[in-house]
Amino acid sequence: MVAPDDCPSQAEYITYFEPAIAVMQTEAALERIALELCLDSAAENVDYLEVRWAPRLHLRRGLSVDQVIRAVLSGLSASPIQAVAIVCAMRQHEPEENVELARISGGFSGRGVVGFDLAGDEVRYPAAPHRRAFEAARAAGLRLTCHAGEAGDPAHVEEALDLGVERIAHGVLGAGNPRIVERIRAEGVVLDMCPTANWKCKAVPALAEHPLPGLVRAGLRCTISTDSRTVAGTTLTREFQLMSEAGMTDDELRRCNETAYEAKFG
């Protein structure tokens, strides 16, 4: 379930989620794993957690989207820390399916679901066809974010910005384009960076060359996260340590943490 260091692409990296998804097909499993994620995070002194996951990937044994969301929220509610949910639509799913997902998720606005996201293979599946899902989520009171800029063309970042998001998960490939960087800065969009995952997806050639330090010094609002503790084979503590080794100062790392609190959806 842990993607290897020599994983060749984002598309390959994503396949390593499959074994975990396969065992998360019952309400009991979803509730337990949601709680265990919170307990593991609490052990790292995390006191606020946003859990992103894709409900439509957990329907193989007959659960409905509503049941999946309720099970995860039940696990999060038993957590010793504040934990909320961001529902992910998947790029490979039909736009109408994601509109329905947004509407169902919106029914849990104010009851544990705080945001709506889009994830999956950027190269094969563009974000633009899912605009109506984002509009439905916004109308339901959910905050918006999107995975983009980890594979393919830097223009994928702009495609996400065009959806009206407040945050972008990754955005790494856009960091080399001054025009995109300036748009991100001007719109106040936050980049949720995941160094190990970005490296394993080959969005950056080496962790030492990750653009996060430069972006923070250029005044962009950035956070540090794990992407997936399991598939990336990391922890939040390790991600901060890696960026310290890449040259970020304690003040810069602290600023990333402050940005995370300022930009949180819950």
CB atoms within 10 A of CB 79: 19
Which pLDDT score is estimated for 178?
96
What pLDDT does residue 170 have?
A: 97
| H helices present in the chain, as ranges | 10-15, 18-22, 27-42, 65-77, 95-106, 131-139, 155-161, 178-187, 195-200, 212-217, 236-245, 250-263
Model confidence band, residue 252 (pLDDT cutoffs 50, 70, 90): very high
| Active-site position among 150, 158, 187, 258 | 150
What number is the average pLDDT over the span 227-248?
A: 97
| Tens-place pLDDT, residues 127-186 | 999 999 999 999 999 999 999 999 999 999 999 999 999 999 999 999 999 999 999 999
Q: Supply the pLDDT for residue 15.
A: 96
Q: What is the pLDDT of residues 63-104, one digit of tens each?
A: 999 999 999 999 999 999 999 999 999 999 999 999 999 999
Banded pLDDT at 4 (limits 50, 70, 90): very high
Give pLDDT tens digits for 171-197.
999 999 999 999 999 999 999 999 999
Cα gap 230→4, rounded to integer Å: 11
List of residues 6+ apart from 13 with CB closer than 8 A: 3, 7, 197, 200, 201, 231
CA atoms within 13 A on the CB side of 108: 24
pLDDT attached to residue 103 = 98
Task: Give the whole-angstrom CA distance, residue 110 versus residue 124.
Answer: 34
Structure tokens at 121: 């293979």
Q: Please give the model's pTM, rounded to 2 decimal places.
A: 0.97
Which pair of structure tokens corresponds to residue 207? 């962790």
| Spatial CA neighbour of 141 closest among 116, 118, 119 | 116
Q: Is 12 a catalytic residue?
A: no
The pLDDT assigned to 239 comes to: 98
What is the distance, to the nearest Å, from the Cα of residue 5 to the centroid of all Cα atoms in its chain? Answer: 20
* Residue 252 per-residue DSSP state: H
Instruction: Tell me the Ramachandran region of residue 55: left when phi exceeds 0, alpha when psi lies from -120 to 50, beta otherwise.
Output: alpha
The residue type of 256 is C
Q: How many other C-beta atoms lie within 10 A of the C-beta of residue 261? A: 10
Structure tokens at 204: 């950056």
Q: pLDDT tens-digit profile of 192-228? A: 999 999 999 999 999 999 999 999 999 999 999 999 9
Q: How far apart are alpha carbons 261 and 143 in whole angstroms?
A: 15
- Kindly write down the DSSP assignment for every residue of 131-149, as one continuous string: HHHHHHHHHTT-EEEEEES
The predicted structure's pLDDT at residue 206: 96
- Counting DSSP H helices and E strands in the chain, the numbers are 12, 7
Q: Residue 165 is which amino acid?
A: V
Write the pLDDT tens digit of every residue in 101-131.
Answer: 999 999 999 999 999 999 999 999 999 999 9
Convert 105-134 to b/e letters by CB count within 10 Å (16 or more is b).
Answer: bbebbeebbbbbbbbbbbeeeebeebeebb
What integer pLDDT is reported at residue 73 of this predicted model? 98
Write out pLDDT tens, residues 39-56: 999 999 999 999 999 999
